[in-house]
């Protein structure tokens, strides 16, 4: 199995690039944002709780997302690899993921970190809000709070993986194809 973390701030293009990467490398896409939005759409108790936090741009509790990822790993025993998108977002989540993967006798192969300037992120997210139907994309204060959460809690997750020499930084500005090529090159150099 070859497992990838696509890492980066909100609006850095993780979702868009994930779609292209899972098709090219035949991976199972696990996006905690998408899993949480499915829970909200189904009005589950977990979804209703998560929605309050997501609508203000805060992270949902670690145990909630770790539980969702654990179930998703169990539900997909025969895949050739996972692409984690929007997870892990805290060091506790990264440690939990390492443990879960170890139980499955696998590990993270590479962490691809997309880099985009803050003003570009805000512009992209508010622009996405015009069509995404996501309430957390329409309000600038919420968008900025998501970036603050990223800086305070998530950016340090890259340091966690740096200890294991797994992080590759990728410029997340340019055309979709240019960014996809940079990501693919890093993956190819690890799997070939
Ligand atoms: P983006 O990266 O564009 O902010 P996501 O769809 O990944 O979008 O996440 C949307 C929201 O869902 C986050 O702001 C957060 O509230 C919640 N969320 C998603 N993934 C996690 C996670 N791993 N840990 C905690 N909260 C999460």
pLDDT digits (tens, 9 = 90+) for 96-141: 999 999 999 999 999 999 999 999 999 999 999 999 999 999 999 9
Q: How confident is the model at residue 192 (pLDDT cuts 50, 70, 90)?
A: confident
Distance CA 98, CA 92 (A): 10
Are the C-beta atoms of residues 167 and 113 closer than 8 Å to each other?
Answer: yes
Q: Bridge partners of 67?
A: none
Residue 125 vs residues 28, 43, 47, 174: alpha-carbon distances, Å: 25, 25, 22, 16
**Separation between Cα atoms, residue 136 and residue 37, nearest integer Å:** 11
Q: CB-based burial of residue 56 (10 Å sphere; 0-12 exposed, 13-18 middle, 19+ buried)? A: middle
Candidate of 11, 15, 17, 33 to mutate for ligand 1, largest count of ligand atoms within 8 Å of Cβ: 33
Atom 5 in ligand 1: residue holding the nearest Cα: 33
C-alpha dihedral over 168, 173, 174, 175, to 10 degrees?
90
The residues with which 149 forms a beta bridge, in sequence order, are: none
* Contact of 16 with 6, CB cutoff 8 Å: no
Q: Which residues line ligand 1 (CB under 6 A)?
A: 10-11, 32-33, 36, 53-54, 57-60, 65, 86-87, 89, 93, 136, 146
* pLDDT at residue 106 in the model: 97
* Rounded alpha-carbon distances, angstroms, from residue 39 to 44, 89, 97, 146, 185: 6, 19, 21, 20, 35
* SS3 state at 14: helix
For residue 160, pLDDT over 90 is answered with yes
| Residues 29 and 83 sit within 8 Å (Cβ to Cβ) | yes
186: its two tokens: 């890093």
Q: Which residues are catalytic?
A: 14, 89, 128, 134, 146
Instruction: Yes or no: say if 35 and 135 are a contact pair by the CB < 8 Å rule.
Output: no
Residue with tokens 């309430």: 135
* pLDDT score of 66: 98
Instruction: Output the residue whose Cα is nearest ligand 1's atom 9.
Output: 33
- Angle 13-154-105 from CA coordinates, rounded to 5°: 90
pLDDT, one tens digit per residue, over 36-94 is 999 999 999 999 999 999 999 999 999 999 999 999 999 999 999 999 999 999 999 99
């Amino acid at each position: 199995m070859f497992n990838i973390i696509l890492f980066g701030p909100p609006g850095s293009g993780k979702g868009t690039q994930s779609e292209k990467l899972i098709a090219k490398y035949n991976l199972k896409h696990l996006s905690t944002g998408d899993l949480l939005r499915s829970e909200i759409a189904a009005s589950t108790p977990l979804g209703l709780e998560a929605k309050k936090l997501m609508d203000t741009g805060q992270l949902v509790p670690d145990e909630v997302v770790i539980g969702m990822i654990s179930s998703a790993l169990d539900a997909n025993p025969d895949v050739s690899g996972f692409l984690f998108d929007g997870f892990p977002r805290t060091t506790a989540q990264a440690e939990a993921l390492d443990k879960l993967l170890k139980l499955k006798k696998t590990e993270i192969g590479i962490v691809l970190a997309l880099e985009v300037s803050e003003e570009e992120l805000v512009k992209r997210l508010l622009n996405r809000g015009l069509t995404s139907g996501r309430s957390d994309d329409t309000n600038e204060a919420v968008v900025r709070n998501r970036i603050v959460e990223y800086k305070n809690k998530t950016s340090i997750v890259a340091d966690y993986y740096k200890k294991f020499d797994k992080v590759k930084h990728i410029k997340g500005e340019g055309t979709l194809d240019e960014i996809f090529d940079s990501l693919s090159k890093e993956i190819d150099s690890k799997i070939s």
